[in-house]
Amino acid sequence: MTTDSRSARLKLDLRLAKSEDSYFLEIDFVNRSNGPITIATLPRYFQIDMTNEHRQFIRGERIESASLSFPTAADYLNIAPGASASSVVRLPIARTMIGERDYTYTIGDFRFLKRPPKTTVRLVYKTDPILPNLSSKQKSTFFGGPLDSPELAIDL
């Protein structure tokens, strides 16, 4: 975790959500500070880790079709002091069969092979050092991370 004082005042939470036949990983933020905090909301800034069969966290492999576009002004979110922002990012979870018994799992822009039946995910929010299209007011309140989420157990 970073020593930036804003990381202690910004909380990141994960939720598993279901919509009809689809699952999503939803990301919420809570601003526990006395001032506004600005964050970037593009999925590319959220690195996902998942436990393997040995209960060790492994990094997901970024899929080829992942968008690496630069953020626009609409991709920044200001969170007021003491406020929360629910479902800031909603990452789809997909399962694809490979072979007779193996699956790949995709969460947002990251692919995982051979996920155990029950697993735990965690997320790290971290942006690029320099971000375009950020207003001068937002620059003073911008938090680029890193910020770790708590672990979330999932069973799909």
Backbone dihedral angles phi then psi of residue 76, each to the nearest 5 degrees: -110, 145
Q: What SS3 class is residue 140?
A: helix
The answer to whether 12 and 29 are in contact (CB under 8 A) is yes
Residue 43: its H or E element: none
CATH of region 5-155:
2.60.40
Q: Is the dihedral of CA 59, 65, 70, 72 positive or negative?
A: negative
Domain locations along the chain: 5-155
Residue 137: its H or E element: helix 136-141
> From first to last of its 156 residues, what are the pLDDT tens digits of the chain?
444 555 678 999 999 999 888 999 999 999 999 999 999 999 889 999 999 888 899 998 888 877 778 889 999 999 999 999 999 999 999 888 777 777 788 999 899 887 667 889 999 999 988 888 898 889 999 999 999 999 999 886
